[in-house]
Structure 1
Amino acid sequence: MIDATTIHQCADPGLRPAIVEKFIRAVGAPDPLAVTVRAGNRVILVTPPKTADDAMELVRRYVGQAMVRVGVTQYPAGLGVTDGAELKPDLVDACSNIRMGTALFGKVYRIVTKWYGTPVDEAFGDAIDAWKTGYFDGKYVFDEPDPGSLPASKAASDTVEKAAADDDAARPASSPGDGTQQDKKPDDPNKAGIRIDLTGIGVSKPK
């Protein structure tokens, strides 16, 4: 079982903690050795691996023949790899899997959110669907370029504009200024403190 501290310490810093929580809750596996194999809509039953070597052997056996997901984040094994021998044990290391999975999901989430034009609940839901299927808007989403930072939500923009207007209104007419007042910016959500309770996602501290 993976504890909440490990998840937060290993998650990609480019993804907000609240999104990490929702992502792990939606797709996470409690066992870092978990391997899921699908052929189309059919799940191929495999013997659950007991060791990292067993898990990697299983992954290498099916990569290139079926959709293989592995580890805590059910990362798409074989992504960017042409030869199964190139697959690394990082896939079944809990921290490495969380780091890779959250970084890749971050890109997927940004792609979907850019399509919507603003961060909305529907964007997250579609990003989860895209993570599970590999496709969004008819394209293989994992191979799409990262669009970069997310568009600001309208609510956030309105708040910033109002704060700037209130500040201007409160400034005395005779107050000296440097003539280069910078626009106020919202707090960087990526630097917000971690305020997440992950007790409901099926993880617990290791004994």
Structure 2
Amino acid sequence: MLDAALIKECADPSLKPAIVEQFVQAVGSEDPLAITVRAGGRIILVPKPKTPEEAIEIVRDNIGGSVVRVGLTQIPAGIGLKDVSELKVNLVEPCANLRMGTTMFAKILRIVAKWYGNPTSEEVFPQLFDDAVYAWQTGKFEGESVFQAEDPGGAVVQRSTVKIDDAAQVEENTIAEIPDDAPINPDDACIRIDLTRIGGQK
């Protein structure tokens, strides 16, 4: 389970914390130095690195002709780089990896949402999320390379599973909608008028 402080400090702010956690749980690793190498559909076993420097050396040794994924978010190494020498140790640093991974995943979510017609209902989000996770794992969505694709921009309506514990959010949600046909119970009635100031002035 990801540390809440790490999510708050490092994750892409356009994703809700619950979605970040769900994303890492679906595609990532608990080990920030985790490396997965695939070639021709097969997983290639590589030595387990003990330091970030070792991890980057393993990535550099395997990146030619293979798909190498690294860190907490298992982000593909080498996206947008022209040379393996450009690979930096921060690729496996937890905060930097989470930032890069969630930023990329947020872009993929927007690509998927655009294909769906940018739905505004939270009910559609689980399907969007599943498609985005599949696109993350395969690198493609509707035949397009998602990691190289342009970001369509915009916001994605996310279905949060986070309990409301923030006082401001609670205050926003204190007024409940009561259906017209609901049975009336005087004990359940809401205070409609603030009477606290009556009699307070002389």
Q: TM-score scaled to structure 1, two decimals?
A: 0.70
Q: How big is the alpha-carbon RMSD for the aligned residues of Structure 1 and Structure 2?
A: 1.7
Q: Deviation at 1:18?
A: 2.5
Work out whether 1:78 is the aligned partner of 2:74: no
Determine the C-alpha separation between the residues in 2 that align with 1:58 and 1:129: 26
SS of equivalent residue, structure 1 residue 43: strand
Amino acid across the alignment from 1:88: K
Give 3-state SS (helix, strand or coil) of 1:37's partner.
Answer: strand
After superposition, residues 165-176 of structure 1 pair within 5 angstroms as: none
Distance in 1, matches of 2:116 and 2:76, equals 25
Name the SS of the counterpart of 1:5 in structure 2. Answer: helix
How far apart are 1:40 and its partner, in Å?
A: 2.6
Identity of aligned residues (%): 55
1:37 aligned residue: 37
Which residue pairs with 1:21 in the alignment? 21
What do residues 167-191 of structure 1 show as CA deviations (whole Å, max 9, x unaligned)? xxxxxxxxxxxxxxxxxxxxxxxxx
Runs of 5+ in structure 2 lacking a partner?
159-202
Give me the whole-angstrom Cα distance separating, in 2, the residues matched to 1:12 and 1:65. Answer: 30
How many residue pairs match? The answer is: 153
Structure 1: any 5+ residue segments left out of the alignment?
154-207
Q: Classify 1:152/1:90 alpha carbon distance in 2 versus 1 (closer, same or farther; 3 Å).
A: closer
In the alignment, what sits opposite 1:193?
none
In the alignment, is residue 60 of structure 1 matched against residue 60 of structure 2?
A: yes
> Normalization by structure 2: what TM-score?
0.71
* Cα distance between partner residues in 2 of 1:7 and 1:16: 9
Q: How far apart in 1 are the matches of 2:44 and 2:156?
A: 39
Q: Which has the higher contact order (CA 8 A, sep 6+)?
A: 1
* 2:12–2:102 CA contact under 8 A, matched in 1: yes
Deviations 1:21-78 (A, max 9, x none): 2101111211111010001320001111111111000001111320000000001100
